[in-house]
A = this chain, B = another copy of it.
Amino acid sequence: MRAPIAFWFDPVSPFGYIGSIAIERVAAKHGREVDWRPFLIGVTVLKVMGMKPLREYPLKGPWLERDMQRLAEYFDAPLRPHGLKGINSVAACRAFLWIKAREPALAKLFAQNIFAKLWTRGEDITPVAAVVAEAAALGVDGAALSEALAGDELKRALRRSVEEAMAQGVFGAPSFVADGELFWGNDHIWMLEHWLAHGDFKRR
Chain A contacts to B: CB under 8 angstroms: 44, 48-51, 57-60, 62-63, 66-67, 70-71, 73-76, 166, 169-172, 182, 184-185, 187-188, 190-191, 194, 200-203
Contacts of A73 in B (CB 8 A): 200-202
A58 touches B63 (CB 8 A): no
A74 touches B185 (CB 8 A): no
Contacts of A57 in B (CB 8 A): 49-51
The CA-CA distance from A191 to B66 in the complex, in Å, is 13
B202 touches A63 (CB 8 A): no
B191 touches A59 (CB 8 A): no
Known: A63-B182, A187-B188. A70 touches B201 (CB 8 A): yes
The CA-CA distance from A29 to B202 in the complex, in Å, is 19
A49 touches B44 (CB 8 A): no
A202 touches B74 (CB 8 A): yes
Closest CB of chain B to A117's CB: distance in Å?
Answer: 25
Contacts of A62 in B (CB 8 A): 169
Among candidates B49, B172, B188, B190, residue contacting A58 with C-beta atoms closer than 8 Å: B49
Among candidates B44, B50, B172, B187, residue contacting A187 with C-beta atoms closer than 8 Å: B187
Q: Which residue of B lies closest to A200 (CB)?
A: B73
The CA-CA distance from A16 to B164 in the complex, in Å, is 32
Contacts of A170 in B (CB 8 A): 59
